[in-house]
Structure 1
Amino acid sequence: MERLTIVMFPWLAHGHISPYLELAKRLSRRNFIVHLCSTAANFKSIENSIGASSIRLVPLHLPDTYLDSRFHTTNGLPPDLMPFLKRMLDLAAPELRPDLLVYDFLQPWAPLVAKEHGVPAVEFITTTATMMAYLFHHFSDPEAAFPFPEIHYRDYELPHRECLLAVAEEVRRDAFAGVHRSNGVVLIKGFREIESKYSDYLAELLGRRVVAVGALVQEAVTISHELIQWLDNKGKNSTVFVSFGSEYFLTREDMMELAHGLELSMLNFIWVVRFPKREEKIVLEDSLPQGFLERVEGRGLVVEGWAPQAQILGHESVGGFVSHCGISSMMESMKFGVPIIAMPMHLDQPLNARLVELIGVGVEVVRDARGMLEREAVAGVIPSVVADEGLRMSSNRMSEGDEEIDEVVEAFLKLYHNNNKTINGFH
């Protein structure tokens, strides 16, 4: 098989660069050379995860405007600065000359640059087919009801729906333009097995074949870490892991209710807390109920910043994952067979939470009518999920094989050969 060179160009978020890296690893094992483009700020989070693969990191140099280099990633970026980061990436527009380009949803100009050099391009969307079907349905016909009523927003989530859909006309045009510039196929994260009808509808909306690439979850690298040592002393399925990703942050009120709920649940827990990068330092203890850390000592740990998530989820002591239902966290939980306690917060996460319940791998903590978490609801759902063997068995069935990557490789080779025939004048 030819040794093709691919440039991958993800959006500047860890939730995007991580699946791009995992796809790059799998392709590198199939004789592809992959150049992964991102900023130095993003490479810090993945440079130790590449191993001996034929992946080359290509640093992007963003213009020295708007934001300094520590903000050249969405990891910890205050939400109000996100538009500035998007603008900077659009200004970067690097030169691209591989055999094939794989680009992200937010870079509709990238396939145009590739086309100028005779390079075919494929869009890789790092969220679920379900969410994208919902989005493009409403982009196509805002007044029409989504044909799958089980995928919906609750009344208190409607502001998130409006935020998702009330984008500028330019953004809608870019979304359609970007996907219609994808040559023949669109890659999407996830399993066709659990999203087939939504995937088929998305393909109909886009006029493109939709190829699921699997979970693309990082392997759990065994490291010596105090959290793992702490888990080693806990019973099987006795502990819940609590994490809400790197880009979304609980309100003070939600943190308080979650803390009380964890305390009332009487289960062991590891809670990873993150705050946005602001000038004013947020003190962890000030965001928790008074005396909370002392009362849960021995059965609960609160960690600020980072934790080895894959290794924690793969540990036999962990029996549940309290998650915001970002796509990467969903897939990671399913890979390791850990049922989800869903607490969606933002944009597409409510739709992902509906999917989690529909496929039987988790249960959602439903908020009150004002959209606020309630400690009693938290304390009720967590133990019931951890004790539910049916949920655990359903979560365990989502193991990733080679079938999805075989289909990606086949699509890439076909695209490359067809492009060469066109360039050489055979078509």
Structure 2
Amino acid sequence: MADQRQLHVLMFPWLAHGHITPFLELAKSLQSHGLKISFLSTPLNIERIRHQISELQPSPEIDLVQLPMPAVAGLPTGVESTSDLSKIGALNLIPLLFKALDLCEKPFETLLKLLSPDFVIHDMVQYWAPRVAAKLGIPAINFVVLTAASMSFTAGHYRHRLQQILKAEDLTVPPLGFPSSAVRRRLFEARKTLFSYQNKQDGEGITFMDRRAIAVEESWAAACNTDLELEGKFAKYFEASTGRPVFPVGILMHDLPPRPVADPCLAWLDQQPARSVVFASFGSECALTRHQVTALVLGLEESEIPFLCILIGHDVAALPPEFEARTRGRGLVVTEWAPQVHILGHPSTGASLTHCGWTSITEGLRFGVPFVALPMQYDQGLNARLISEEFKVGEEVRRNEEDGSFTKEDIARAVRVVMVEEEGNKIKSNVEEISRFLTKDDCQVHRTNMHDFVSALKQKASKKQNI
């Protein structure tokens, strides 16, 4: 019987740290439930993953499998992830990463024949993975590392796109039957997003939304990095929109690594009062314009709240004149990598001013940190409305509806709402309640979700064997 032998799952994420990490967390959880895991990526990414695994105690038994990285004209040597592109200021070359990954289809098929897993869990970019797996009789699962709300919102609009040409204004309106009127795109976000429904110049000449849709529709099921308690109505809508089973695997939370020695951010936080600091960070793949940086830091100054601001890849010299002198002792600006999870978990951190990437949100929810939402790209606007309007655990920065611009006053207002105004007390209470729910009994809710997911895999494998 299938449930009496060890099931074998091949994990295959997109070439981005924000995707590889949740895939690795899911792999660890599946391995802890008795499944054999093979983790597939390109050579440089495999070395990084090997380092991540070696830091874990106990170290999970995960087989790391290398997929050769094809050479693509225009893609620099040594670039195998979006973070590699970010380091050289070349995020505009992401379509070339799509093309490189698409060239992996045949090698991927060869590896599948060799490894013969029971399931393939793949990402949304490599839309061809479920097709290849189906040729070999292997069920495929699309693991969605984004919110169920954002995925279901775009899934509804994709179906509409098949019937008529979309305009930016169409993308501001929730699709038919969508379970929230609050979770929607602003007009300036829709204008930025429209290309992903129309641009066919990357990879094999399909749009990014084509990739998303095919990745789900040609898979047996989808798994979401969320929990039904938080996003149940969106997961159900996603299931109805795609016609595929959707399994929430719980909010994936990685084990905390040891605190970095002599880290300047943590050392500075150690000197601040409890819950007094707003932590501003925008990840490694979000480049703010000089105007945005100026409005951000001046807004933090004007809020009169202590702040720790991480601006990876930005030049401190671009800060307004005398800004550092005026805020010395009350604020710290860092332009290099910082230990975000330790900062969010630090007792001095009182709020997270965030671009609303789902990983950053889940880390904040874990530690009960309320949010100041400043979405910048992709699905982040939908996430901002999810946390501010549905979860009610944050305040979104006001923006110009036409161009998305914001002022220092907009930043200062939102920070003060969360940190010191009366309405911030309810926000803090709500996020603390969600944190207790997610972490109660050593994250029991996550283990329950994983148990249900593994049971579904075993049932599917059993039916396949009995055919």
Fold match, TM over 0.5?
A: yes
Q: Which has the higher mean CA deviation after the structures are superposed, 13-22 or 390-399?
A: 390-399
Change (3 A) 1:287 1:47: farther
Q: 1:160-192 CA deviation, whole Å, 9 max, x = no partner? A: 242343344833544333212212x21011122
Q: Offset of 1:156 from its aligned partner?
A: 3.0
Tell me which amino acid in the other structure corresponds to 2:222. V
* TM-superposition CA deviations, 1:184-210 (whole Å, max 9, x none): x21011122122222111111111111
Candidates 11, 31, 43, aligned match of 1:8: 11
* C-alpha contact 1:237 1:316 (8 A) present in aligned 2: yes
1:384 maps to what in 2?
417
Offset, 1:125? 1.1
Using the TM superposition, give the Cα deviation of residue 305 of structure 1 relative to its aligned residue in structure 2, in angstroms: 2.4
The aligned counterpart of 2:343 is 312
1:44 is displaced (CA, Å) by: 5.5
Paired residue secondary structure (1:70): coil
Moved more, 365-374 or 84-93: 365-374
Q: Do the aligned residues in 1 keep the contact of 2:122 with 2:129 (CA within 8 Å)? A: yes
* Contact in 2 for aligned 1:2/1:31 (Cα 8 Å): no
Which residue is equivalent to 1:263?
301
Judging changes above 3 Å, is the alpha-carbon distance between structure 1 residues 8 and 157 closer, same or farther for their aligned structure 2 residues?
same
- The answer to whether the 8 A contact 2:10-2:37 is kept is yes
> Which among 396, 400, 416 is matched to residue 461 of structure 2?
416
Which amino acid in 1 is paired with 2:101?
L
Change (3 A) 1:377 1:302: same
Q: How far apart, CA to CA, are the structure 2 residues paired with 1:44 and 1:345?
A: 30
What is the match of residue 192 of structure 1?
Answer: 228
CA contact (8 A) 1:120 1:419 kept: no
Residue 228 of structure 1 aligns to a residue whose secondary structure is helix
Give the CA deviation at 1:99. 2.1
Cα distance change on mapping 1:286 and 1:310 into 2, 3 Å: same
How far the C-alpha of 1:419 sits from its partner, in A, is: 2.1
The whole-number CA distance in structure 1 between the counterparts of 2:186 and 2:158 is 20
TM superposition shift of 1:368: 2.6
Q: How does 1:182-261 map to 2 (within 5 A)?
A: 182-183=219-220, 185-223=221-259, 224=261, 225-261=263-299
1:35 aligned residue = 38
Q: Which one-letter code corresponds to 2:391 in the other structure? A: I
The equivalent of 1:62 in structure 2 is 69
Asked whether the equivalents of residues 153 and 161 of structure 1 are also in contact (C-alpha less than 8 Å), the reply is no
Shift of 1:318: 0.3
Query: How much does 1:9 deviate?
Result: 0.3
Matched residues in 1 for 2:239 and 2:210: separation? Answer: 18
2:79 to 58, 71, 84: 71
Q: For residues 48 and 308 of structure 2, what CA distance do their matches in structure 1 show?
A: 21
Aligned to 1:87: 99
CA separation in 2, counterparts of 1:49 and 1:395? 29
Distance 2:10 2:392 in 1: 37
Q: CA deviation at 1:334?
A: 0.7
SS in structure 2 of the partner of residue 411 of structure 1:
helix
Change beyond 3 A, Cα 1:69–1:25: farther
Answer yes or no: is the 8 Å Cα contact 1:217–1:328 preserved in 2: no
Q: 1:2 to 1:297 in 2, by over 3 A?
A: farther
Asked if the contact 1:127/1:189 (under 8 Å) is kept, the reply is yes
Cα distance in 1, alignment partners of residues 12 and 465 from structure 2? 22
The alpha-carbon deviation at position 69 of structure 1 amounts to 4.0
Q: Distance between the aligned counterparts of 2:197 and 2:433, measured in 1?
A: 33
CA distance in 2, matches of 1:15, 1:315: 22
Does residue 413 of structure 2 align to residue 374 of structure 1? no
**Distance in 2 of aligned mates of 1:316 and 1:173:** 44
Q: Is the 8 A contact 2:197 2:210 kept in 1?
A: no
CA–CA distance in structure 2, aligned partners of residues 182 and 235 of structure 1: 50
Aligned ranges 1:171-186 → 2 under 5 Å:
171=207, 172-183=209-220, 185-186=221-222
Shift of 1:341: 0.5
Question: CA contact under 8 A between 2:8 and 2:37: conserved in structure 1?
Answer: yes
* Unmatched segments (≥5 aa) in structure 2: 165-169
> Quick one: percent identity of the two aligned structures?
34
Q: Distance in 1 between matches of 2:372 and 2:64?
A: 36
Q: Post-superposition shift, 1:46?
A: 4.1
Q: CA deviation at 1:266?
A: 1.9
Give the one of 317, 323, 326 matched to 2:354. Answer: 323
Query: Which residue does the alignment assign to 1:53?
Result: 60
TM-score (norm 1): 0.91
Aligned partner of residue 9 in structure 2, secondary structure: strand
**Other-structure match for 1:279:** none
Matched, 1:295 2:302: no
TM-aligned CA deviation for residue 309 of structure 1: 0.8
Cα distance change of structure 1 residues 2 and 244 upon mapping to structure 2, 3 Å threshold: same
Q: Deviations over 1:339-392 (max 9, x none)?
A: 010000112111110101121111100113432121011111112212323212
Q: 1:44 to 1:253 in 2, by over 3 A?
A: farther
**RMSD over equivalenced CA pairs, Å:** 2.0
Query: How big is the shift at 1:302?
Result: 1.6
* Structure 1 residues 256 and 70, CA gap change in structure 2 (3 angstroms): farther
From 21, 24, 28, the equivalent of 1:21 is: 24
Q: Structure 2 vs 1, CA of residues 55 and 386 (structure 1 numbering), >3 Å: closer, same or farther? A: farther
Note the alpha carbon deviations across 1:214-267, whole angstroms, 9 max, x for none: 221323223223322221221110111111112221111100100101111222
The structure whose residues are more often helix, as a share, is 2
AA partner of residue 409 (structure 2): E
Matched-pair contact (CA < 8 Å) for 1:368–1:374: no
Match for residue 158 of structure 1? Answer: 190
